[in-house]
Amino acid sequence: MSQPKLSHLAGTLVGSEIVNLGNAISERIRNGEKIYNFTIGDFDPAEFPIPTELEALIIESYQQRNTSYPAAEGVLDLRKAVSSFIKEWEGLEYAPNEIQIASGGRPLIYTIFKAIVDKGDKVIYGVPSWNNNHYVHMTDGEHCIIDCSADNDFMPTPEEIKKNIPGATLICICTPQNPTGTTLSKNALAEICDLILEENKRRADDEKKLYLMFDQMYWTLTYGSTEHFNPISLRPDMKPYTIFVDGISKVFAATGVRVGWALGPETVIAKMKAILSHLGAWAPMAEQKAVANYLVQKEAIAKYLTHFKSELEERLRNIHAGFIALKEKGYSVDSVTPQAAIYLTIKIDLVGKTTSEGNILSTQSDVTSYILGEAKLAVVPFSAFGAGNKNPWYRLSVGTCKKQEIPEMLAKLAAALAKLS
């Protein structure tokens, strides 16, 4: 039976490859298969619960019957709390009318695109990166893709951006980055900001300006000597051209609580509010009230982050060490030293190898299937983040990782690699 004709978008949009892969893995687990599932950028609440203070405030907020519609821009108490939080922790000055609340980062990113990008507008983004390819597609923008490599921590370089900047409308930067767990350096970010400022100075008053979407959802989760930098602290003149995407999803392991915020110029924020008011993608009233009360609890937040980051870092570093040990034994694997977020970038470069059954791993997809079937290791290929399907790098997420399972996972991977010739 033929499929009914629907919109061009419906016919061409690809669903989330990560969610599809995660669903397939979950089905195998439900059927009794032991899988080390490092696919979804989420948290197992048994391993990483939300802060107890925040949990209590959410329950209390529902008991207080905060269940009506919130204001379209977000409740004022929360916008004031976000303003205080980012000033206290990042030194950023944003008034409540420069802050937009929504149900996590996704609707904010979508409305940033809808507020800025017209059909045919050039959008610059690096790959691998999370969902930029899909948001450009949904807004009929022109993809301007920069292929990023391990040499630059999988971040777009100022030189690559400079070549593509004429005529661009939006540059998308995520740091710390999903999927790589790497960060953009201070100097590189400053150079990118300078390019944007120079380009906007060159443009006429009636021309559309070039904006930077700066996704810093993971900015608190940095390890070792890694530092997070933001455009406004480095170049205050960037404030009229920068829209931040942020929220509680990753900083407090609160992905399902659905409270995110954007910071930006009042004119852009107002248009985002108008678009969101039609989508209805607001964060629930009770959660907004609870988060407003939690964000001002500096000591509780500091205590939570100390433990939370320690647990994440331990998992990332142990798995990284395991991959490096396998590499030193001569296996075709690698790992990038953990910098930030909940992700480890690993390399599984086995195309051309032959299994013990005599099957050749001809494609990277074959490699992914082999590792899943033989080592029971489920990770997301960078091809799911816009990179080419021959790319041998993967995202490994530790949000659901049990520490005691790391040695056995590495042992199974070693055994699977040993069977190849």
132 domain-assigned: yes
Q: Could you list the residue range(s) of the whole structural domain that residue 250 is in? A: 52-297
Domain boundary among 254, 282, 297: 297
* CA distance to 37, 259, 309, 374, per residue, from 391 (Å): 20, 34, 30, 21
20 Cβ contact list (under 8 Å, min separation 6): none
Q: What is the pLDDT of residue 1?
A: 61
Q: Classify strands 242-247 and 36-37 as parallel, antiparallel or unpaired.
A: unpaired
Residues 127 and 234 in one domain: yes
Q: How far apart are CA 306 and CA 288, in angstroms?
A: 24
> Are 103 and 241 contained in the same domain?
yes
Q: Is the same domain home to 253 and 387? A: no
Dist. CA 373–CA 355, nearest whole Å: 12
Same domain as 315, residue 254: no
Residue 346 counted as domain residue: yes
Same-domain status, 16 and 75: no
Q: Is residue 110 part of a domain?
A: yes
Q: Are residues 34 and 133 in the same domain?
A: no
Among residues 265, 297, 329, which one ends one of the domains?
297
Does some domain include residue 290?
A: yes
Residue 245 three-state SS: strand
Alpha-carbon distance of 250 to 222, in angstroms, equals 12
DSSP 8-state code for residue 168 = E
In a domain, 78, yes or no: yes
* In a domain? residue 226: yes
DSSP string, 225-237: T-----HHHH-GG
In a domain? residue 200? yes
Nearest residue to 109 via CA among 160, 59, 174: 174
Are 142 and 217 found together in one domain?
yes
Per-residue pLDDT of the chain (421 residues; tens, 9 = 90+): 667 889 989 888 877 777 777 777 888 888 888 999 999 899 999 999 999 999 999 999 999 999 999 999 999 999 999 999 999 999 999 999 999 999 999 999 999 999 999 999 999 999 999 999 999 999 999 999 999 999 999 999 999 999 999 999 999 999 999 999 999 999 999 999 999 999 999 999 999 999 999 999 999 999 999 999 999 999 999 999 999 999 999 999 999 999 999 999 999 999 999 999 999 999 999 999 999 999 999 999 999 999 999 999 999 999 999 999 999 999 999 999 999 999 999 999 999 999 999 999 999 999 999 999 999 999 999 999 999 889 999 999 999 999 999 999 999 999 999 999 9
**Which CATH number belongs to the domain containing residue 407 in this structure?**
3.90.1150.10
| Same domain flag for 20 and 116 | no
Are residues 306 and 281 both part of a single domain? no
Looking at the fold, whether 165 and 311 belong to one and the same domain comes out as no
Give exposure, 254-278, as e/b (b: 16+ Cβ within 10 Å).
bbebbbbbbbbbeebbebbbebbee
How many domains, the chain?
A: 2
Q: Residue 3 falls within a domain, yes or no?
A: no
Shared domain for 232 and 345, answered yes or no, is no
Domain boundary among 241, 270, 297: 297
Phi, psi of 99 (to 5 degrees): -125, 130
**Do residue 261 and residue 331 come from a single domain?**
no
CATH of the domain at 275: 3.40.640.10
Residue whose C-alpha is closest to residue 268's, from 102, 105, 38, 114 = 114
| DSSP designation for 374 | I
Beta bridge partners of residue 125, listed in sequence order: 145, 172
Q: CA 23, 176, 182 angle in degrees (round to 5)?
A: 90
Distance CA 5, CA 212 (A): 36
